Amino acid sequence: MLIPQPTSYVSHPGAWTLTAGTAVEAPAEIAALLRELLTPATGLPLPDGPGGLVFTVDPAADLGAEGYTLTVDGSGARATAATLAGLRWAVQTLRQLLPVAAYAAQPGPGTAWTLPYAEITDRPRYPWRGIMIDVARWHQPLPWLHTVVDLLAIHRMNTLHLHLTDDQGWRFESHRHPRLTSVGAWRSASPAGHERDKQTDGAPHGGFYTQDELRGLVAYAARRGVTVVPEIDLPGHTVAVVAAYPELGNFPEARHETATRWGIHDRVLNCDDATVQVMRDVLDELVAVFPGELIHLGGDEVPPKEWVEGESGRARMAELGLTDPEDLLGWWINQLADHLRGHGRRVVVWDELVGRGVPADALIMAWRGVDRVTAALHDGHDVIATPSSHVYLDYNESMAEGEPPSIGSGPTPLSTVYGYDPEPADDPRNGHRVLGVQGNLWTEYLPNPTRAEYNLLPRLCAVAEVGWGTAGELAEFRQRLAGALARFDAMGVTYRPLD
């Protein structure tokens, strides 16, 4: 019942049982992880010592950056990997081999902690296996983000992309520019029902994450081999920014408030040097919280209307000799990509930036269709495949009556996600690569963890297996999903039942 299915899995008759005497021989990080993950549910102390669980880094092992071998036999469990990252996945696979009660928060009665004899050799197809969570549309509780990290790590997924800012809320604490949260993290109301019904709930909503809270999340994720990639979405999806600081917009004298409606808004950042500088300041704070190399700068859905109508955009176009206002999007991203390079960072952007002259080392997140994967490769970029047609998890699995309200696109059933092959058929691709696949959970219609989990699970499992590269027959996958659902039950996580 392993998910993702390992690249090679041979089972043998017999089982070995962990006991109160079982010791761990492993690098300190791995021994600590085994105890952090297993001791609460099993009550086993798993002290350091010879025998039992043996985890070894062998830099010469031909297992890639994240691969591992895991053998369970009469003498215990032994794992080898070239890296700590590989050993972390071996820990997760070992945990999946245990009885499902291993996922409970505290010990239950009378479980024998058996591991079936097995020989596993395993390595992922793609280096990026991710989920994006939009915490801007609704501020989701911090503990739930820890749960999402758990869900990723259990499925050997290594990236949590946090969409921290949008028109309806700015969720990243900035000491330099505090109105981003004191004003921009709050809105006076939200849509009630579907956006097209134009009803309002009249209820204020808001919240943000302190830098310390996010540092805690980053550390929790890192112990599990998950990197958190933060996104500051700009220069569009910035109604909340302009509400906080109207001088960053194109019409400061207009009335401004954090958006209370979903959809694409015309309000974008202006093109003044001072505005770019404010965003540089924010990024300086962001990189101090998120140590990973990649920073997502958004760049999606930026209407050029205000740049054409306002003075700031027209002046910048004249200075740069631009005739297409949409090229200001490339200019904006380049200003910040250059700045981030000074911090040793690279940028990720949505596929609107293809053909807009962003640096060659920018990763493109291709979302508007599978053809955008190809377009980004041809434009000279490495790509994260996240097409809305296959892996937008905000789209409901079914449009049948009785399903909860959703963005209204789709449906995107489990079979569509599971059947996705991120590799575009056509070549050449300028030597550039698809680096991985990611499911995106936009949350306009997912105001709380229970709603979010309904859309996330179990489709996350399908994204994980596609990214790991072992997706096969759907019917066989659905059988293994029974194991995943039992794990979710043990964790106290909810999900959409299988059809």
Interacting residues with ligand ACM (CB under 6 A): 300-301, 350, 367
237 versus 345: smaller Cβ distance to ligand ACM: 237
Those residues whose C-beta lies under 8 Å from the C-beta of residue 390, and which sit 6 or more positions away, are 370, 412, 416, 417, 419, 420
Q: Is there a contact between 163 and 133 (Cβ–Cβ < 8 Å)?
A: yes
Which amino acid appears at position 338 of this protein? D
Most distant CA pair in the chain: distance in Å? 75
Compute the least distance from the CB of residue 143 to ligand ACM, in Å. 26
397 versus 444: smaller Cβ distance to ligand ACM: 444
Compute the least distance from the CB of residue 350 to ligand ACM, in Å. 5
The alpha-carbon radius of gyration of the chain (Å, integer) is 23
Compute the least distance from the CB of residue 70 to ligand ACM, in Å. 37
170 versus 350: smaller Cβ distance to ligand ACM: 350
Structure tokens at 222: 């890192």
173 versus 379: smaller Cβ distance to ligand ACM: 379
Compute the least distance from the CB of residue 478 to ligand ACM, in Å. 28
Compute the least distance from the CB of residue 160 to ligand ACM, in Å. 16
Measure the CA–CA gap between 437 and 415, rounded to whole angstroms: 16
Alpha-carbon torsion 112, 113, 119, 124, what sign? Answer: positive
113 versus 442: smaller Cβ distance to ligand ACM: 442
Closest-by-Cβ residue to ligand ACM is: 300
66 versus 394: smaller Cβ distance to ligand ACM: 394
77 versus 133: smaller Cβ distance to ligand ACM: 133
Measure the CA–CA gap between 193 and 197, rounded to whole angstroms: 7
Q: Which of 136, 234, 206, 203 is nearest to 242 (CA)?
A: 234
- CB atoms under 10 Å from CB of 112, counted, come to 10
The owner of tokens 């050449």 is 428
Measure the CA–CA gap between 159 and 128, rounded to whole angstroms: 7
Measure the CA–CA gap between 9 and 118, rounded to whole angstroms: 7
Measure the CA–CA gap between 148 and 414, rounded to whole angstroms: 19
Q: Is there a contact between 464 and 470 (Cβ–Cβ < 8 Å)?
A: no
Measure the CA–CA gap between 477 and 499, rounded to whole angstroms: 13
Active-site residue set: 166, 237, 301
Compute the least distance from the CB of residue 386 to ligand ACM, in Å. 8
Which amino acid appears at position 435 of this protein? L
Compute the least distance from the CB of residue 305 to ligand ACM, in Å. 17
